[in-house]
Chains A and B, each alone.
Chain A
């Protein structure tokens, strides 16, 4: 089966700082992949480049067979790739439901929508999937932090993406919210949603994903199942420092 997402030779430097060096990744439909690495390793830069918010210095990204490297963010969303943002920055002065309605007016969502279905009822379904239906009329700025994360995912899901990118979804969540989020991710995975998750908190992530990519200082240092990764010498050093005898 052809991969749904292919990344080859992706590189980016900011001034003198090499943020990402020759990154490559292949993703197949239905996979749940994790990208881990210490802060500043370049993880969010990968997302920003795949989704069109930043232009890479070199390398290419193919999505469903089409080269998307030079496309604008909204075009990429309309092809079927959605993302959440690390600093959850939704539409604060708008209601929760309105937040999810915005993507419902993208080209993609409009095409996918069945005749006669109203945008707000479609948005409501996505809210319910994330367990936020009861808060639909609340102003977004009044939501709790955990709820904001779920809302961001609902918003990203509203364009019915073929692949969903989650940027540090667990950061800042307490144990309960993390459990709710894990359950939601697991549900989506079971329904066949292809996902890539960037995360810094290892425990929550490694329990969910099938395959892990580890990045340190802009370079991919390891790739494999969660068990394999944890045994990788370089990963251990990156996270925990040199082993002392």
Chain B
């Protein structure tokens, strides 16, 4: 069974991690070429959005439960970290993991009530919690700073270069972890849930449990990223808990290709860079985005990754099904 070991044994990790290696090297060495802090900050944003998109994709891309409220974890942990920093004086090395844990706990709470339900209920509730948090943040402006948010947070690293590396290494760690997870039995089970939840349950899998765990991991990562962002910008604002952020993360993962790790990575990089260069378009940006999403779903529902893979296969002369 030589080729089975190839497909499922430990060697598979080494082969496919080659791409990750290339990415790591690029991330680590890029600042040699890129010196301008403006670009370093832009790349910081890319790293940030990669973490957000990949964490979102872990639940929705694999199990098919759509999360419409990812901003709940991002903004929630962002504000939690900010408040801890401003009032208790804790630095990023504490606020980031705590922000993540708080987010994960919220994920556990929300998930245990809703992930056991079939149908669109989970999507609805995630949206509700995100909106509720946003409204609460705006209403209690004396705590959360209203529209302006909370300024004066301690920095993450002292320079743009520092932020770049911190976020870059965090991003690589997240990607590696998610990659290993997706190739493991856990990933296989999550995919089976997304494919056919009834068959998965009928095969003896406690689907609710796995969905909740995936949701918690997803929440934790988004929370850490949110707290990190707050420190890097030295400011948190209500836009971190707003629907448009949830929508943006969703769009990145969908356009890139849900259910794979590479898809959201590509989507995040692409859209962050496009977002910047389209800044002059102002009002038309969202119009272009939404048209892009519609087009992608209708013509390439599996995202850019799928288009690229199929194109490569055709070039290599293999059969495409």
Direct A–B contact in the complex, CB atoms closer than 8 angstroms? yes
Q: Chain A: residues with CB nearer than 8 A to chain B?
A: 51, 53, 72-75, 77-78, 82-83, 85, 89-94, 97-98, 101-103, 105-109, 118-121, 124, 136-137, 139, 142, 155-156, 158-159
* Chain B neighbourhood of A82, CB < 8 A: 202, 204
- Rounded to whole Å, the gap between the CB of A18 and the closest CB of chain B is 25
- Rounded to whole Å, the gap between the CB of A49 and the closest CB of chain B is 14
Determine which of B4, B195, B202, B206 lies in contact with A94 in the assembled complex, contact meaning CB atoms within 8 Å: B195
Q: Decide if A103 touches B188 in the complex (CB within 8 Å).
A: no
5 A-B pairs, CB-CB below 8 angstroms?
Answer: A74-B204, A94-B188, A98-B192, A120-B8, A156-B203
Query: A92–B4 Cα gap in the complex (Å)?
Result: 20
Query: A108–B185 Cα gap in the complex (Å)?
Result: 15
- Rounded to whole Å, the gap between the CB of B12 and the closest CB of chain A is 11
Residues 1-25 of B contacting A (Cβ, < 8 Å): 1, 3-4, 7-9
Q: Decide if B1 touches A124 in the complex (CB within 8 Å).
A: yes
Q: Decide if B204 touches A78 in the complex (CB within 8 Å).
A: yes
* Chain A neighbourhood of B7, CB < 8 A: 97, 120, 137
Query: A52–B161 Cα gap in the complex (Å)?
Result: 57
Query: A16–B199 Cα gap in the complex (Å)?
Result: 29
Query: A83–B185 Cα gap in the complex (Å)?
Result: 22
* Chain B neighbourhood of A106, CB < 8 A: 203-205
Q: Decide if B8 touches A102 in the complex (CB within 8 Å).
A: no
Q: Decide if A89 touches B4 in the complex (CB within 8 Å).
A: no
* Chain A neighbourhood of B201, CB < 8 A: 72-74, 77
* Chain A neighbourhood of B191, CB < 8 A: 91, 94
Residues 191-244 of B contacting A (Cβ, < 8 Å): 191-192, 195-196, 198-207
Answer whether residue B189 sits at the interface, using C-beta atoms and an 8 A cutoff. Answer: yes
Determine which of A77, A89, A91, A98 lies in contact with B204 in the assembled complex, contact meaning CB atoms within 8 Å: A77
Sort chain B's interface into a size bin: 20 to 34
Query: A136–B185 Cα gap in the complex (Å)?
Result: 17
Closest to A92 in B: B195
**Which 4 pairs from chain A and chain B are nearest by CB?**
A106-B204, A77-B204, A103-B203, A91-B195
* Chain B neighbourhood of A137, CB < 8 A: 3, 7
CB contact under 8 A between A51 and B202, given known A74-B207, A105-B189, A124-B4: yes
Query: A163–B200 Cα gap in the complex (Å)?
Result: 18
Give 6 A-B pairs besides A53-B198, A119-B8, A137-B7 with Cβ atoms closer than 8 angstroms. A51-B202, A91-B191, A102-B203, A120-B7, A120-B8, A155-B199
Residues 127-159 of B contacting A (Cβ, < 8 Å): none
Q: Decide if A91 touches B196 in the complex (CB within 8 Å).
A: yes
Determine which of B9, B198, B203 lies in contact with A155 in the assembled complex, contact meaning CB atoms within 8 Å: B203
Determine which of B3, B4, B188 lies in contact with A105 in the assembled complex, contact meaning CB atoms within 8 Å: B188
Residues 162-184 of B contacting A (Cβ, < 8 Å): none
- Rounded to whole Å, the gap between the CB of B137 and the closest CB of chain A is 38
* Chain A neighbourhood of B318, CB < 8 A: none
Answer whether residue B321 sits at the interface, using C-beta atoms and an 8 A cutoff. Answer: yes
Closest to B191 in A: A94
* Chain B neighbourhood of A85, CB < 8 A: 198-199, 202
Q: Decide if A77 touches B199 in the complex (CB within 8 Å).
A: no
* Chain A neighbourhood of B205, CB < 8 A: 74, 102-103, 105-106
Q: Decide if A90 touches B199 in the complex (CB within 8 Å).
A: yes
Q: Decide if B188 touches A89 in the complex (CB within 8 Å).
A: no
Q: Decide if B188 touches A101 in the complex (CB within 8 Å).
A: yes
Q: Decide if B321 touches A142 in the complex (CB within 8 Å).
A: yes
Q: Decide if B202 touches A73 in the complex (CB within 8 Å).
A: yes
* Chain B neighbourhood of A158, CB < 8 A: 203
* Chain B neighbourhood of A121, CB < 8 A: 1, 4
* Chain B neighbourhood of A78, CB < 8 A: 204
- Rounded to whole Å, the gap between the CB of B3 and the closest CB of chain A is 8
Determine which of B8, B198, B321 lies in contact with A118 in the assembled complex, contact meaning CB atoms within 8 Å: B8
Q: Decide if B321 touches A159 in the complex (CB within 8 Å).
A: no
* Chain A neighbourhood of B198, CB < 8 A: 53, 85, 89
* Chain A neighbourhood of B204, CB < 8 A: 74, 77-78, 82, 103, 106-109, 159
Q: Decide if A91 touches B199 in the complex (CB within 8 Å).
A: yes
Query: A118–B7 Cα gap in the complex (Å)?
Result: 13
- Rounded to whole Å, the gap between the CB of A242 and the closest CB of chain B is 40
Q: Decide if B203 touches A119 in the complex (CB within 8 Å).
A: no
Determine which of B3, B189, B321 lies in contact with A102 in the assembled complex, contact meaning CB atoms within 8 Å: B189
Closest to A51 in B: B202
